[in-house]
Amino acid sequence: MCAMENLQTILQSGTPVLIDCFATWCGPCKMVPPILKEVKDKFGDTLRIIKIDIDKNQQLAAQWQISSVPTLLLFKEGQLAWRQSGVVPAHQLIPLLQPLI
């Protein structure tokens, strides 16, 4: 995981950033990586995907008010544009993200 300054730089960039907030002990979180691979295959370089372990980044989890995992957050130009908790299948997630990217 990148340092906080690097994360801020990434979030402020022109490329939308999808953050997968997860925990190693979370069963449903293990279902998310193949979904995000499909999303990445669809959007390619127009979307950056980052995984953040909430147990290792408790300050961020508190700042973003993550109360359950998995939670996906989409940032555009440093601003939170969308968030969703729970597992969302790729065929539902892609149309949700499409107008935001």
**Tens-digit pLDDT profile for residues 21-49:** 999 999 999 999 999 999 999 999 999 99
Q: Which is the catalytic residue, given 29, 36, 39, 97? A: 29
**Tens-digit pLDDT profile for residues 49-66:** 999 999 999 999 999 999
pTM of the predicted model, to two decimals? 0.92
Specify the CATH superfamily of domain 4-100.
Glutaredoxin (3.40.30.10)
Q: Which is the catalytic residue, given 10, 13, 15, 26? A: 26
Distances (CA, A) of 1 to 25, 33, 49, 77, 89: 18, 16, 12, 20, 25
26 is catalytic: yes
What is the residue extent of each domain of the chain? 4-100
